[in-house]
Structure 1
């Protein structure tokens, strides 16, 4: 799994228990998966269609640094399915794993559009 992004847990990211708010973490994950999909599918019109079961295994506290990892599970005709994991860099614990998130490639009218991709492409290989 490639870990692409790190986030620093700040006071505004906490729930009343003093730990990382789950909704904030899910927003970070969704944004990272969208950015990854936009780059892979070369289209800014990407939407989240489905996320598999979400199970929080641990958390993070103020000052902790978390990192978000992504792997491609498969390429569909109009979609890309991704796996993600978030881990706490300070405690070395996995916070959450999401086995499948389906991101759909859209056309200018908001309808699913074939993307023609079959494998991961790295930006350096496109230049």
Structure 2
């Protein structure tokens, strides 16, 4: 799955660059969307995010491209690889600014882990 967003002034830190916490929120949210589309009707919660390393600063007006791909499937959990690329304002040339793996677990109404349903065809 791919998703895009525009970096706006409200996303910047006090130095004028993208605030890392905002990027992490988007990574978590977009990976959750991928899991929810891959397993409709399931409730997922985030249980972990691998290494968090910001490679390059991101400026106001940059367009971010999030590439989210399924990586691993366990009995109750899913892991997605997430790569984030940034194109500065007015450019289509991208550079990778962030990558991680996000793991979700499927839960029931009481918050207990439950097995994953069969994957949609193609996963």
Place the TM-score, normalised by the shorter chain, in its bin. 0.7 to 0.9
- String of CA shifts for 1:32-62, please: whole Å, max 9, x gaps: 0111111112235210001111111012111
- In the alignment, structure 1 segments of 5+ residues that lack a partner are 123-127
Aligned to 1:81: 79
Q: How far apart are 1:71 and its partner, in Å?
A: 1.2
- 2-side partners of 1:18 and 1:63: how far apart? 11
Shift of 1:115: 1.3
| Residue 93 of structure 1: aligned partner | 95
- Alignment of structure 1 residues 45-84 onto 2, 5 Å: 45-84=43-82
Structure-1 residue corresponding to 2:105: 104
Distance 1:32 1:120 in 2: 21
Residues 10-30 of structure 1: CA distance to partner in whole angstroms, max 9, x if unpaired? 000000111100000000110
Equivalent in the alignment of 1:6: 4
Gaps of 5+ in 2: none
Q: TM-score, normalised by structure 1?
A: 0.85
Runs of 4 or more above 2 Å deviation = 116-122
1:29 pairs, out of 27, 30, 34, with 27
The whole-number CA distance in structure 1 between the counterparts of 2:118 and 2:18 is 36
Number of positions where the alignment pairs a residue of Structure 1 with one of Structure 2? 119
Q: Distance in 2 between matches of 1:116 and 1:5?
A: 25
Contact 1:72 1:120 in 2 (8 A): no
- Preserved contact between residue 79 and residue 102 of structure 1 (Cα < 8 Å): yes
Q: TM-score, normalised by structure 2?
A: 0.88
Give the superposed CA RMSD.
Answer: 1.7
Higher mean C-alpha deviation, range 47-56 or range 89-98: 89-98
